[in-house]
A and B are shown apart, each in its own frame.
Chain A
Amino acid sequence: MKPFTYERPRTAADAVAAVLRKPGGRFIAGGTNLLDLMKLQVETPGHLVDVQDLGFNKIEPTPDGGLRIGALVTNTVLAADPRIKRDYGVLSRAIVAGASGQLRNKATTAGNLLQRTRCPYFYDTNQPCNKRQPGSGCGAIGGASRGLGLMGVSTSCIATHPSDMAVAMRLLDAKVETIDDVGTVRSIPIADFHQLPGTTPHIETILRPGELITGVELPRPLGGRHVYHKVRDRASYAFALVSVAAVLQRDGSGRVAVGGVAPKPWRVEAAEPLLRRSSESFANSLLSGAAPTEDNHFKLALVERTLAGILHEVRA
Protein backbone atom coordinates (compact mmCIF):
# COMPACT_ATOMS: atom_id res chain seq x y z
CA MET A 1 0.00 0.00 0.00
CA LYS A 2 1.11 3.55 -0.69
CA PRO A 3 1.38 5.72 2.43
CA PHE A 4 -1.68 7.77 3.36
CA THR A 5 -2.98 9.87 6.20
CA TYR A 6 -6.20 9.10 8.04
CA GLU A 7 -8.97 10.90 9.89
CA ARG A 8 -12.31 10.06 11.45
CA PRO A 9 -14.61 13.10 11.45
CA ARG A 10 -17.90 13.25 13.35
CA THR A 11 -20.11 15.23 10.96
CA ALA A 12 -20.95 14.97 7.27
CA ALA A 13 -19.83 18.57 6.70
CA ASP A 14 -16.42 17.83 8.23
CA ALA A 15 -16.09 14.63 6.21
CA VAL A 16 -16.82 16.35 2.91
CA ALA A 17 -14.43 19.19 3.73
CA ALA A 18 -11.74 16.70 4.77
CA VAL A 19 -11.94 14.66 1.59
CA LEU A 20 -11.55 17.77 -0.58
CA ARG A 21 -8.87 19.43 1.57
CA LYS A 22 -6.08 16.95 0.97
CA PRO A 23 -4.89 15.61 -2.40
CA GLY A 24 -6.15 12.13 -3.16
CA GLY A 25 -8.79 12.26 -0.42
CA ARG A 26 -11.22 9.32 -0.31
CA PHE A 27 -14.02 8.17 1.94
CA ILE A 28 -13.64 4.74 3.49
CA ALA A 29 -16.58 2.78 4.91
CA GLY A 30 -16.25 -1.01 5.37
CA GLY A 31 -12.99 -0.91 3.42
CA THR A 32 -13.63 -4.30 1.82
CA ASN A 33 -13.27 -3.01 -1.73
CA LEU A 34 -11.03 0.01 -1.28
CA LEU A 35 -8.38 -1.74 0.85
CA ASP A 36 -8.32 -4.73 -1.49
CA LEU A 37 -7.54 -2.37 -4.38
CA MET A 38 -5.07 -0.31 -2.32
CA LYS A 39 -3.04 -3.42 -1.54
CA LEU A 40 -2.66 -3.97 -5.28
CA GLN A 41 -2.01 -0.26 -5.86
CA VAL A 42 -4.94 -0.11 -8.25
CA GLU A 43 -6.16 2.60 -5.86
CA THR A 44 -3.64 4.96 -4.26
CA PRO A 45 -5.50 7.50 -2.11
CA GLY A 46 -3.35 9.98 -0.19
CA HIS A 47 -5.86 10.59 2.58
CA LEU A 48 -8.61 8.38 3.99
CA VAL A 49 -11.69 9.88 5.59
CA ASP A 50 -13.42 7.27 7.74
CA VAL A 51 -17.20 7.78 7.63
CA GLN A 52 -18.21 5.37 10.41
CA ASP A 53 -19.08 8.08 12.98
CA LEU A 54 -21.37 10.15 10.74
CA GLY A 55 -24.52 8.54 12.11
CA PHE A 56 -25.91 7.18 8.84
CA ASN A 57 -26.61 3.78 10.33
CA LYS A 58 -30.39 3.68 10.67
CA ILE A 59 -33.27 2.33 8.58
CA GLU A 60 -36.26 4.63 8.98
CA PRO A 61 -39.74 4.89 7.48
CA THR A 62 -40.32 7.77 5.03
CA PRO A 63 -43.51 9.91 4.99
CA ASP A 64 -44.62 8.32 1.70
CA GLY A 65 -44.59 4.74 2.97
CA GLY A 66 -41.07 3.73 1.95
CA LEU A 67 -37.83 3.24 3.86
CA ARG A 68 -34.69 5.32 4.12
CA ILE A 69 -31.52 3.23 4.51
CA GLY A 70 -28.49 5.02 5.99
CA ALA A 71 -25.33 4.88 3.86
CA LEU A 72 -23.49 3.09 6.66
CA VAL A 73 -26.04 0.32 7.26
CA THR A 74 -24.18 -2.93 6.70
CA ASN A 75 -25.32 -5.49 4.15
CA THR A 76 -26.02 -7.98 6.98
CA VAL A 77 -28.18 -5.56 8.94
CA LEU A 78 -30.06 -4.51 5.82
CA ALA A 79 -30.77 -8.06 4.64
CA ALA A 80 -31.94 -9.05 8.15
CA ASP A 81 -34.22 -6.07 8.79
CA PRO A 82 -37.77 -7.43 9.29
CA ARG A 83 -39.28 -4.67 7.08
CA ILE A 84 -36.85 -5.43 4.27
CA LYS A 85 -37.45 -9.18 4.54
CA ARG A 86 -41.21 -8.67 4.48
CA ASP A 87 -41.70 -5.86 1.94
CA TYR A 88 -38.53 -5.80 -0.17
CA GLY A 89 -37.60 -9.49 -0.25
CA VAL A 90 -35.73 -9.14 -3.54
CA LEU A 91 -33.26 -6.82 -1.78
CA SER A 92 -32.60 -9.25 1.08
CA ARG A 93 -32.20 -12.07 -1.44
CA ALA A 94 -29.78 -10.11 -3.64
CA ILE A 95 -27.61 -9.12 -0.68
CA VAL A 96 -27.26 -12.61 0.74
CA ALA A 97 -26.42 -13.94 -2.74
CA GLY A 98 -23.29 -11.75 -2.64
CA ALA A 99 -19.87 -12.11 -1.03
CA SER A 100 -19.61 -13.99 2.33
CA GLY A 101 -21.03 -13.61 5.83
CA GLN A 102 -17.81 -11.94 6.99
CA LEU A 103 -17.75 -9.46 4.10
CA ARG A 104 -21.43 -8.60 4.45
CA ASN A 105 -20.81 -7.68 8.10
CA LYS A 106 -18.43 -4.95 6.92
CA ALA A 107 -19.84 -3.99 3.51
CA THR A 108 -21.99 -0.86 3.67
CA THR A 109 -24.89 0.35 1.53
CA ALA A 110 -22.87 3.20 -0.01
CA GLY A 111 -19.67 1.18 -0.39
CA ASN A 112 -21.54 -1.61 -2.12
CA LEU A 113 -23.02 0.78 -4.71
CA LEU A 114 -19.55 2.24 -5.34
CA GLN A 115 -17.59 -1.01 -5.47
CA ARG A 116 -15.47 -1.23 -8.59
CA THR A 117 -15.48 -3.77 -11.39
CA ARG A 118 -13.98 -7.24 -11.03
CA CYS A 119 -12.49 -7.16 -14.54
CA PRO A 120 -9.21 -9.10 -14.15
CA TYR A 121 -7.30 -6.59 -16.30
CA PHE A 122 -8.43 -3.75 -14.03
CA TYR A 123 -6.96 -5.64 -11.06
CA ASP A 124 -3.61 -6.37 -12.76
CA THR A 125 -1.47 -3.24 -12.91
CA ASN A 126 0.73 -4.87 -15.57
CA GLN A 127 -2.16 -4.89 -18.04
CA PRO A 128 -3.59 -2.06 -20.10
CA CYS A 129 -6.89 -0.76 -18.73
CA ASN A 130 -8.66 2.46 -19.69
CA LYS A 131 -10.58 2.49 -16.45
CA ARG A 132 -7.51 2.26 -14.21
CA GLN A 133 -5.24 4.28 -16.44
CA PRO A 134 -7.15 6.33 -19.01
CA GLY A 135 -5.73 5.98 -22.53
CA SER A 136 -3.75 2.80 -21.85
CA GLY A 137 -6.10 0.56 -23.83
CA CYS A 138 -8.39 -2.29 -22.82
CA GLY A 139 -6.92 -5.70 -22.09
CA ALA A 140 -10.30 -7.37 -21.96
CA ILE A 141 -11.41 -6.52 -25.50
CA GLY A 142 -9.83 -9.32 -27.47
CA GLY A 143 -8.65 -10.90 -24.22
CA ALA A 144 -10.33 -13.25 -21.78
CA SER A 145 -13.78 -11.72 -21.51
CA ARG A 146 -16.02 -14.52 -20.24
CA GLY A 147 -17.06 -12.55 -17.14
CA LEU A 148 -17.39 -9.20 -18.85
CA GLY A 149 -20.26 -7.16 -20.22
CA LEU A 150 -22.30 -6.95 -23.40
CA MET A 151 -24.89 -4.25 -22.73
CA GLY A 152 -24.08 -0.54 -22.52
CA VAL A 153 -20.41 -1.28 -23.15
CA SER A 154 -18.10 0.70 -25.45
CA THR A 155 -14.97 0.22 -27.52
CA SER A 156 -13.06 1.64 -24.53
CA CYS A 157 -14.38 -0.69 -21.82
CA ILE A 158 -16.62 -3.74 -21.46
CA ALA A 159 -16.51 -4.04 -17.66
CA THR A 160 -19.56 -4.97 -15.59
CA HIS A 161 -20.71 -3.54 -12.27
CA PRO A 162 -20.37 -6.46 -9.86
CA SER A 163 -22.93 -5.58 -7.19
CA ASP A 164 -25.87 -7.84 -6.47
CA MET A 165 -27.51 -5.32 -4.09
CA ALA A 166 -27.56 -2.61 -6.76
CA VAL A 167 -29.55 -4.83 -9.14
CA ALA A 168 -32.35 -5.15 -6.57
CA MET A 169 -32.22 -1.42 -5.82
CA ARG A 170 -32.57 -0.63 -9.52
CA LEU A 171 -35.57 -2.94 -9.70
CA LEU A 172 -37.14 -1.13 -6.76
CA ASP A 173 -36.42 2.36 -8.23
CA ALA A 174 -34.37 3.42 -5.23
CA LYS A 175 -32.94 6.94 -4.93
CA VAL A 176 -29.40 7.69 -3.80
CA GLU A 177 -29.17 10.65 -1.42
CA THR A 178 -26.03 12.76 -1.25
CA ILE A 179 -24.59 15.92 0.22
CA ASP A 180 -21.72 18.04 -1.10
CA ASP A 181 -19.25 20.62 0.24
CA VAL A 182 -21.69 23.53 0.07
CA GLY A 183 -24.44 21.53 1.72
CA THR A 184 -26.42 20.82 -1.46
CA VAL A 185 -28.52 17.71 -1.05
CA ARG A 186 -29.36 15.55 -4.08
CA SER A 187 -31.73 12.64 -4.54
CA ILE A 188 -30.50 10.70 -7.57
CA PRO A 189 -32.69 8.00 -9.18
CA ILE A 190 -30.54 4.87 -9.21
CA ALA A 191 -31.14 4.53 -12.96
CA ASP A 192 -29.05 7.71 -13.41
CA PHE A 193 -26.46 6.95 -10.74
CA HIS A 194 -24.03 4.65 -12.60
CA GLN A 195 -22.68 5.99 -15.90
CA LEU A 196 -21.98 4.10 -19.10
CA PRO A 197 -18.27 4.04 -20.07
CA GLY A 198 -18.31 5.71 -23.51
CA THR A 199 -14.80 7.09 -23.95
CA THR A 200 -14.40 7.81 -20.20
CA PRO A 201 -14.65 4.47 -18.38
CA HIS A 202 -12.82 5.91 -15.36
CA ILE A 203 -15.93 7.99 -14.62
CA GLU A 204 -18.35 5.48 -13.12
CA THR A 205 -21.06 7.49 -11.38
CA ILE A 206 -22.77 10.85 -11.50
CA LEU A 207 -21.18 11.82 -8.14
CA ARG A 208 -19.08 14.99 -8.08
CA PRO A 209 -15.71 15.13 -6.31
CA GLY A 210 -16.22 15.08 -2.55
CA GLU A 211 -19.93 14.25 -2.77
CA LEU A 212 -20.92 11.99 0.13
CA ILE A 213 -23.67 9.38 -0.02
CA THR A 214 -25.87 9.76 3.06
CA GLY A 215 -28.49 7.14 2.31
CA VAL A 216 -30.72 5.28 -0.12
CA GLU A 217 -34.47 5.75 -0.24
CA LEU A 218 -36.81 2.94 -1.19
CA PRO A 219 -40.28 3.86 -2.49
CA ARG A 220 -43.37 2.23 -0.98
CA PRO A 221 -43.48 -1.58 -1.30
CA LEU A 222 -44.58 -3.16 -4.59
CA GLY A 223 -46.17 -6.33 -3.24
CA GLY A 224 -45.94 -9.32 -5.59
CA ARG A 225 -43.46 -12.21 -5.64
CA HIS A 226 -39.81 -11.25 -5.11
CA VAL A 227 -37.10 -13.37 -6.72
CA TYR A 228 -33.32 -13.08 -7.17
CA HIS A 229 -31.58 -15.80 -9.16
CA LYS A 230 -27.80 -15.64 -9.43
CA VAL A 231 -25.91 -17.89 -11.83
CA ARG A 232 -22.22 -18.34 -11.03
CA ASP A 233 -19.31 -20.74 -11.22
CA ARG A 234 -19.69 -21.87 -7.60
CA ALA A 235 -22.89 -22.31 -5.56
CA SER A 236 -21.77 -19.60 -3.13
CA TYR A 237 -19.09 -16.89 -2.60
CA ALA A 238 -18.62 -16.03 -6.28
CA PHE A 239 -19.58 -13.07 -8.45
CA ALA A 240 -22.45 -13.43 -10.88
CA LEU A 241 -22.09 -14.55 -14.46
CA VAL A 242 -25.63 -13.25 -14.75
CA SER A 243 -28.26 -12.52 -12.14
CA VAL A 244 -31.95 -11.80 -12.56
CA ALA A 245 -34.01 -9.80 -10.05
CA ALA A 246 -37.78 -9.87 -10.50
CA VAL A 247 -40.95 -8.70 -8.83
CA LEU A 248 -43.94 -10.39 -10.43
CA GLN A 249 -47.60 -9.65 -9.81
CA ARG A 250 -50.56 -12.01 -9.93
CA ASP A 251 -51.96 -10.32 -13.04
CA GLY A 252 -48.85 -11.27 -15.04
CA SER A 253 -47.23 -7.86 -14.94
CA GLY A 254 -43.82 -7.37 -13.41
CA ARG A 255 -40.37 -5.81 -13.35
CA VAL A 256 -37.02 -7.38 -14.17
CA ALA A 257 -33.46 -6.11 -13.72
CA VAL A 258 -30.34 -8.02 -14.70
CA GLY A 259 -26.82 -8.08 -13.24
CA GLY A 260 -23.52 -9.29 -14.68
CA VAL A 261 -24.13 -7.97 -18.19
CA ALA A 262 -23.48 -4.21 -18.04
CA PRO A 263 -21.60 -1.41 -16.26
CA LYS A 264 -24.80 -0.83 -14.26
CA PRO A 265 -27.82 -2.88 -13.27
CA TRP A 266 -29.62 -3.43 -16.59
CA ARG A 267 -33.31 -2.67 -16.75
CA VAL A 268 -35.50 -1.58 -19.68
CA GLU A 269 -38.94 -0.54 -18.44
CA ALA A 270 -40.33 -0.38 -21.98
CA ALA A 271 -39.71 -4.12 -22.40
CA GLU A 272 -41.61 -5.13 -19.26
CA PRO A 273 -45.12 -5.41 -20.80
CA LEU A 274 -43.62 -8.29 -22.82
CA LEU A 275 -43.21 -10.32 -19.62
CA ARG A 276 -46.88 -11.30 -20.05
CA ARG A 277 -46.06 -12.79 -23.43
CA SER A 278 -42.90 -14.89 -22.94
CA SER A 279 -39.40 -14.86 -21.52
CA GLU A 280 -38.03 -14.89 -25.12
CA SER A 281 -39.84 -11.81 -26.30
CA PHE A 282 -38.96 -9.94 -23.11
CA ALA A 283 -35.28 -11.00 -23.23
CA ASN A 284 -35.01 -10.08 -26.91
CA SER A 285 -36.21 -6.61 -26.14
CA LEU A 286 -34.17 -6.22 -22.93
CA LEU A 287 -30.97 -7.34 -24.66
CA SER A 288 -31.45 -5.66 -28.03
CA GLY A 289 -28.30 -3.85 -29.10
CA ALA A 290 -26.10 -6.38 -27.29
CA ALA A 291 -22.40 -6.34 -28.18
CA PRO A 292 -21.18 -9.73 -26.95
CA THR A 293 -17.66 -11.10 -27.36
CA GLU A 294 -17.01 -14.66 -28.42
CA ASP A 295 -16.29 -15.49 -24.76
CA ASN A 296 -19.40 -13.97 -23.20
CA HIS A 297 -21.99 -14.59 -25.92
CA PHE A 298 -23.44 -17.34 -23.72
CA LYS A 299 -24.80 -14.69 -21.34
CA LEU A 300 -27.56 -13.82 -23.81
CA ALA A 301 -29.07 -17.28 -23.60
CA LEU A 302 -28.30 -17.52 -19.89
CA VAL A 303 -30.36 -14.41 -19.08
CA GLU A 304 -33.31 -15.72 -21.06
CA ARG A 305 -33.16 -19.24 -19.56
CA THR A 306 -32.75 -17.89 -16.01
CA LEU A 307 -35.81 -15.69 -16.50
CA ALA A 308 -37.76 -18.57 -18.05
CA GLY A 309 -36.98 -20.58 -14.92
CA ILE A 310 -38.23 -17.80 -12.68
CA LEU A 311 -41.47 -17.34 -14.65
CA HIS A 312 -42.07 -21.07 -14.60
CA GLU A 313 -41.53 -21.24 -10.84
CA VAL A 314 -43.68 -18.22 -10.01
CA ARG A 315 -46.53 -18.99 -12.37
CA ALA A 316 -46.65 -22.72 -11.67
Chain B
Amino acid sequence: MNGSGKWRVSRRGVLAGGSASAAMATMLDAQPSHPRRQADIPVYDVSFTVNGEPRTLSLDPRTTLLDTLREHLQLTGTKKGCDHGQCGACTVLVDGFRINSCLSLAVMHEGDRVTTIEGVGSPDHLHAMQRAFVQHDGFQCGYCTPGQICSAVAVLKEIEAGVPSHVTEDLTATCVPSRAEMRERMSGNICRCGAYANISDAMAEVAGVNV
Protein backbone atom coordinates (compact mmCIF):
# COMPACT_ATOMS: atom_id res chain seq x y z
CA MET B 1 0.00 0.00 0.00
CA ASN B 2 3.13 2.22 0.31
CA GLY B 3 2.53 5.73 -0.95
CA SER B 4 -0.74 4.78 -2.58
CA GLY B 5 -2.82 6.80 -0.11
CA LYS B 6 -1.19 9.96 -1.37
CA TRP B 7 -1.99 9.08 -4.93
CA ARG B 8 -5.62 8.50 -4.10
CA VAL B 9 -5.90 11.80 -2.33
CA SER B 10 -4.38 13.73 -5.17
CA ARG B 11 -6.66 12.08 -7.71
CA ARG B 12 -9.71 12.61 -5.51
CA GLY B 13 -8.50 16.20 -5.02
CA VAL B 14 -8.53 16.77 -8.74
CA LEU B 15 -12.03 15.35 -9.01
CA ALA B 16 -13.45 17.12 -5.99
CA GLY B 17 -11.50 20.32 -6.60
CA GLY B 18 -10.40 23.20 -4.37
CA SER B 19 -11.49 23.28 -0.76
CA ALA B 20 -13.34 19.99 -0.88
CA SER B 21 -10.08 18.14 -1.38
CA ALA B 22 -8.88 18.79 2.18
CA ALA B 23 -12.02 17.25 3.65
CA MET B 24 -11.75 14.38 1.20
CA ALA B 25 -8.15 13.75 2.22
CA THR B 26 -9.17 13.53 5.88
CA MET B 27 -11.91 11.08 5.06
CA LEU B 28 -9.56 8.93 3.05
CA ASP B 29 -6.93 8.94 5.77
CA ALA B 30 -9.52 7.66 8.20
CA GLN B 31 -10.47 4.80 5.87
CA PRO B 32 -7.31 3.82 4.08
CA SER B 33 -8.70 0.51 2.82
CA HIS B 34 -11.90 1.95 1.28
CA PRO B 35 -10.72 4.60 -1.14
CA ARG B 36 -14.00 4.60 -3.04
CA ARG B 37 -16.39 4.29 -0.11
CA GLN B 38 -19.46 6.51 -0.07
CA ALA B 39 -21.60 6.78 3.03
CA ASP B 40 -24.79 5.31 1.59
CA ILE B 41 -23.25 2.40 -0.30
CA PRO B 42 -22.70 -0.97 1.35
CA VAL B 43 -19.26 -2.51 1.24
CA TYR B 44 -18.57 -6.23 0.97
CA ASP B 45 -15.61 -8.24 2.14
CA VAL B 46 -14.00 -10.47 -0.44
CA SER B 47 -10.95 -12.76 -0.25
CA PHE B 48 -9.01 -14.25 -3.14
CA THR B 49 -5.41 -14.87 -4.02
CA VAL B 50 -3.56 -12.67 -6.47
CA ASN B 51 -0.32 -14.08 -7.86
CA GLY B 52 -0.26 -16.55 -5.00
CA GLU B 53 -0.75 -14.00 -2.22
CA PRO B 54 -3.97 -14.07 -0.18
CA ARG B 55 -5.81 -10.74 -0.29
CA THR B 56 -8.85 -9.57 1.64
CA LEU B 57 -10.59 -6.36 0.68
CA SER B 58 -13.71 -4.42 1.59
CA LEU B 59 -15.23 -3.14 -1.61
CA ASP B 60 -18.12 -1.21 -3.07
CA PRO B 61 -19.78 -4.07 -5.05
CA ARG B 62 -19.53 -2.00 -8.23
CA THR B 63 -15.75 -2.37 -8.26
CA THR B 64 -14.60 -4.47 -11.20
CA LEU B 65 -11.80 -6.98 -10.84
CA LEU B 66 -9.77 -4.69 -13.12
CA ASP B 67 -10.17 -1.62 -10.90
CA THR B 68 -9.49 -3.73 -7.82
CA LEU B 69 -6.18 -4.92 -9.24
CA ARG B 70 -5.09 -1.51 -10.45
CA GLU B 71 -6.45 0.87 -7.85
CA HIS B 72 -6.70 -1.17 -4.66
CA LEU B 73 -3.78 -3.56 -5.09
CA GLN B 74 -1.55 -1.27 -7.19
CA LEU B 75 -1.01 -4.04 -9.74
CA THR B 76 -1.01 -1.69 -12.70
CA GLY B 77 0.40 -4.16 -15.20
CA THR B 78 -3.16 -5.08 -16.20
CA LYS B 79 -4.47 -2.30 -18.44
CA LYS B 80 -7.83 -0.67 -19.06
CA GLY B 81 -8.51 -0.09 -22.75
CA CYS B 82 -12.23 -0.01 -23.44
CA ASP B 83 -13.75 -1.16 -20.09
CA HIS B 84 -16.43 -3.03 -22.15
CA GLY B 85 -14.97 -6.39 -23.14
CA GLN B 86 -13.98 -5.17 -26.59
CA CYS B 87 -10.18 -4.94 -26.51
CA GLY B 88 -8.60 -7.56 -24.21
CA ALA B 89 -6.14 -5.16 -22.53
CA CYS B 90 -7.54 -6.20 -19.13
CA THR B 91 -7.07 -9.95 -19.67
CA VAL B 92 -6.05 -11.87 -16.54
CA LEU B 93 -6.17 -15.54 -15.57
CA VAL B 94 -8.74 -16.70 -13.02
CA ASP B 95 -8.29 -20.31 -11.89
CA GLY B 96 -6.26 -20.70 -15.09
CA PHE B 97 -8.95 -19.36 -17.46
CA ARG B 98 -8.39 -16.05 -19.26
CA ILE B 99 -11.15 -13.50 -18.71
CA ASN B 100 -11.75 -9.79 -19.28
CA SER B 101 -11.30 -8.35 -15.77
CA CYS B 102 -13.25 -5.21 -16.79
CA LEU B 103 -16.50 -7.21 -17.15
CA SER B 104 -16.29 -8.98 -13.82
CA LEU B 105 -17.12 -7.76 -10.32
CA ALA B 106 -14.43 -8.31 -7.70
CA VAL B 107 -17.02 -9.46 -5.14
CA MET B 108 -17.88 -12.36 -7.46
CA HIS B 109 -14.34 -13.77 -7.11
CA GLU B 110 -14.48 -15.00 -3.50
CA GLY B 111 -12.02 -17.88 -3.17
CA ASP B 112 -10.64 -17.53 -6.71
CA ARG B 113 -7.02 -17.68 -7.82
CA VAL B 114 -6.16 -14.61 -9.90
CA THR B 115 -2.95 -14.34 -11.94
CA THR B 116 -1.93 -11.06 -13.52
CA ILE B 117 1.02 -10.25 -15.77
CA GLU B 118 3.04 -9.56 -12.60
CA GLY B 119 2.47 -13.19 -11.60
CA VAL B 120 3.05 -14.80 -15.00
CA GLY B 121 6.78 -14.10 -14.63
CA SER B 122 9.12 -11.58 -13.04
CA PRO B 123 11.92 -9.46 -14.53
CA ASP B 124 14.45 -11.99 -13.19
CA HIS B 125 12.41 -15.03 -14.15
CA LEU B 126 10.50 -14.24 -17.32
CA HIS B 127 7.86 -16.69 -18.50
CA ALA B 128 8.80 -18.27 -21.84
CA MET B 129 6.01 -16.23 -23.48
CA GLN B 130 7.36 -12.97 -22.02
CA ARG B 131 10.85 -13.80 -23.28
CA ALA B 132 9.49 -14.62 -26.73
CA PHE B 133 7.57 -11.32 -26.90
CA VAL B 134 10.82 -9.45 -26.11
CA GLN B 135 12.82 -11.46 -28.63
CA HIS B 136 10.29 -11.05 -31.43
CA ASP B 137 9.36 -7.40 -30.70
CA GLY B 138 5.78 -8.45 -29.99
CA PHE B 139 4.81 -4.88 -29.08
CA GLN B 140 5.42 -1.22 -29.82
CA CYS B 141 3.82 1.04 -27.18
CA GLY B 142 3.26 -1.96 -24.91
CA TYR B 143 -0.21 -1.01 -23.72
CA CYS B 144 -1.95 -4.14 -24.96
CA THR B 145 1.02 -6.39 -24.09
CA PRO B 146 0.10 -7.63 -20.58
CA GLY B 147 -3.30 -8.70 -21.94
CA GLN B 148 -1.72 -10.25 -25.03
CA ILE B 149 0.72 -12.28 -22.95
CA CYS B 150 -1.89 -13.51 -20.45
CA SER B 151 -4.11 -14.46 -23.38
CA ALA B 152 -1.28 -16.13 -25.30
CA VAL B 153 -0.32 -18.27 -22.30
CA ALA B 154 -3.96 -19.38 -21.94
CA VAL B 155 -4.43 -20.00 -25.68
CA LEU B 156 -1.73 -22.68 -25.74
CA LYS B 157 -3.40 -24.40 -22.77
CA GLU B 158 -6.82 -24.21 -24.44
CA ILE B 159 -5.46 -25.89 -27.56
CA GLU B 160 -3.90 -28.61 -25.40
CA ALA B 161 -7.23 -29.10 -23.59
CA GLY B 162 -9.10 -29.64 -26.87
CA VAL B 163 -11.14 -26.43 -26.84
CA PRO B 164 -12.12 -25.91 -30.50
CA SER B 165 -11.95 -22.58 -32.33
CA HIS B 166 -13.73 -21.01 -35.28
CA VAL B 167 -10.98 -22.26 -37.62
CA THR B 168 -10.79 -25.83 -36.29
CA GLU B 169 -11.59 -28.02 -39.28
CA ASP B 170 -12.37 -31.33 -37.61
CA LEU B 171 -14.03 -30.86 -34.23
CA THR B 172 -13.27 -34.40 -33.09
CA ALA B 173 -9.59 -34.50 -34.12
CA THR B 174 -6.82 -33.50 -31.70
CA CYS B 175 -6.32 -29.71 -31.62
CA VAL B 176 -2.89 -28.56 -32.80
CA PRO B 177 -1.32 -25.12 -32.32
CA SER B 178 -1.10 -23.99 -35.96
CA ARG B 179 -0.54 -20.36 -36.91
CA ALA B 180 -4.17 -20.07 -38.03
CA GLU B 181 -5.45 -21.53 -34.75
CA MET B 182 -3.37 -19.14 -32.65
CA ARG B 183 -4.34 -16.07 -34.67
CA GLU B 184 -8.06 -16.84 -34.44
CA ARG B 185 -7.87 -17.50 -30.71
CA MET B 186 -6.06 -14.18 -30.12
CA SER B 187 -8.81 -12.11 -31.81
CA GLY B 188 -10.05 -10.89 -28.41
CA ASN B 189 -6.83 -8.90 -27.97
CA ILE B 190 -6.66 -5.77 -30.07
CA CYS B 191 -3.32 -4.01 -30.71
CA ARG B 192 -3.56 -0.42 -31.94
CA CYS B 193 0.13 -0.52 -32.87
CA GLY B 194 -0.48 -3.54 -35.09
CA ALA B 195 2.19 -5.77 -33.58
CA TYR B 196 0.19 -8.82 -34.62
CA ALA B 197 2.76 -10.40 -36.94
CA ASN B 198 5.42 -10.36 -34.23
CA ILE B 199 3.00 -11.57 -31.56
CA SER B 200 2.22 -14.47 -33.86
CA ASP B 201 5.96 -15.19 -34.21
CA ALA B 202 6.43 -15.11 -30.44
CA MET B 203 3.58 -17.53 -29.88
CA ALA B 204 4.74 -19.83 -32.66
CA GLU B 205 8.16 -20.06 -31.04
CA VAL B 206 6.75 -20.98 -27.62
CA ALA B 207 4.35 -23.48 -29.19
CA GLY B 208 7.16 -25.02 -31.20
CA VAL B 209 5.51 -24.28 -34.54
CA ASN B 210 7.86 -23.48 -37.45
CA VAL B 211 8.45 -19.73 -37.30
Contact = CB atoms under 8 A, between A and B. Distances in A.
Interface of A: 1, 3-6, 8, 28, 30-32, 35-36, 39, 48, 50, 52, 76, 79-80, 82, 85-86, 89, 92-93, 96-97, 99-103, 105-106, 234-237
Interface string B143-176: 0000000010011001001111110100110000
A236 B161 contact: no
B188 A106 contact: no
Given A3-B62, A4-B62, A100 B103 contact: no
A106 B184 CA distance: 18
B98 interface: yes
Interface size range of chain B in the complex:
35 or more
B40 interface: yes
Nearest to B163: A80
Nearest to B40: A3
A1 B97 CA distance: 26
Contacts of A36: 84-85, 103
B41 A3 contact: yes
A97 B88 contact: no
A102 B164 contact: no
Contacts of B42: 5
Contacts of B91: 102
A82 B184 CA distance: 21
Contacts of A35: 64, 103-105
B203 interface: no
Contact of B103 (A8, A31, A82, A89): A31
Nearest to B188: A100
Contact of B164 (A85, A99, A235): A85
Contacts of A82: 162, 172
Interface string B10-21: 000000000000
Contacts, number: 108
Interface of B: 38, 40-42, 44, 60-62, 64, 83-85, 88, 91, 97-100, 103-105, 107-108, 110, 151, 154-155, 158, 161-166, 168, 171-172, 184-189
B98 A8 contact: no
Contacts of B108: 8, 28, 31, 50, 52
Chain A to chain B: the 4 pairs with minimum beta-carbon distance, closest first: A100-B188, A236-B187, A237-B187, A85-B171
A31 B44 contact: no
A5 B185 CA distance: 36
B151 A102 contact: yes
Nearest to A52: B108
Given A4-B62, A48-B61, A102 B107 contact: no
Given A96-B168, A97-B166, A80 B61 contact: no
A170 B184 CA distance: 26
A225 to B, nearest CB: 12
- Residue among B64, B105, B155, B158 having the largest count of chain A Cβ atoms under 10 Å: B105
Given A86-B171, A93-B164, 9 more contacts: A3-B62, A32-B100, A50-B108, A80-B161, A80-B163, A85-B171, A106-B104, A235-B187, A236-B187
Nearest to B147: A102
A103 B166 contact: no
B164 A96 contact: yes
A80 B185 CA distance: 14
A100 to B, nearest CB: 3
Nearest to B186: A101
B187 A100 contact: yes
A61 to B, nearest CB: 18
A96 to B, nearest CB: 5
- Residue among A3, A52, A76, A102 having the largest count of chain B Cβ atoms under 10 Å: A102
A31 B104 contact: yes
Given A8-B110, A35-B105, A76-B163, A101 B188 contact: yes
B163 A106 contact: no
A103 B163 contact: no
Contact of A5 (B61, B100, B186): B61
B120 to A, nearest CB: 15
Contact of A102 (B44, B62, B99, B168): B99
A4 B84 contact: no
Contacts of B40: 3
B69 to A, nearest CB: 15
Contacts of B103: 30-32, 35-36, 103, 106
A6 B43 CA distance: 10
A102 B158 CA distance: 11
A100 B161 contact: no
A102 B88 contact: yes
Contacts of B85: 32, 36, 100, 102-103
Nearest to B175: A80
A240 B85 CA distance: 17
